[in-house]
Amino acid sequence: MDWPLIQQELTFRTSRSSGAGGQHVNKTETRVELVFNLDESQGLNHREKKNLRHHLKRKIDANGIISVVDQSGRSQHGNKVKALKRLKEMLSLSGRPIPKKHVGKSFVANRGKRLERKKRRSEIKAGRGKIRW
């Protein structure tokens, strides 16, 4: 991961924030939206992009864009720093490999035992019915 190159690829959008702050929040654009295009990034190699697609699948839209929004503070600069920090934490997952799935196999003997237990159980339950004389 080449962080300086990634920082050059980032796009920032600002808008008016909501929440506490009174007239100040109504007049200034303190909400920061950081936009990062994962598919077109030159700062990540193919393996890192693949890992990020797996780990961040809920945060990446259909166009391969990661969007981080912060409006917690009253200053645009502070929110920008927080958004950058969150993006860097997200991108640090690129080094983590995709976990392998452990597929449990049902062996033929186990399947036979299971069916035999089911058959015995159904016979027990069938014997609980009314007795005809």
Q: Model confidence over 23-33: pLDDT tens digits? A: 777 788 889 99
Residue ranges of domains in the chain: 3-95
How many residues would you count in the chain? 133
Structure tokens at 36: 């990062």
Strand-pair partners of 13? 33
Between the CA atoms of 47, 49, 54 and 55, what dihedral angle is there, to the nearest 10 degrees?
110
Q: Sorting pLDDT into bands at 50, 70 and 90, what band is 123?
A: very high
What CATH number labels 3-95? 3.30.160.20
69 exposed, middle or buried (CB, 10 Å; 0-12, 13-18, 19+)?
middle
* Cβ within 8 Å of residue 38, ≥6 positions away: 44, 49, 52, 53, 60, 64, 65, 66
Give pLDDT, residue 106.
66
Residue 41, pLDDT score: 87
Quick one: tokens of 75?
């200053």
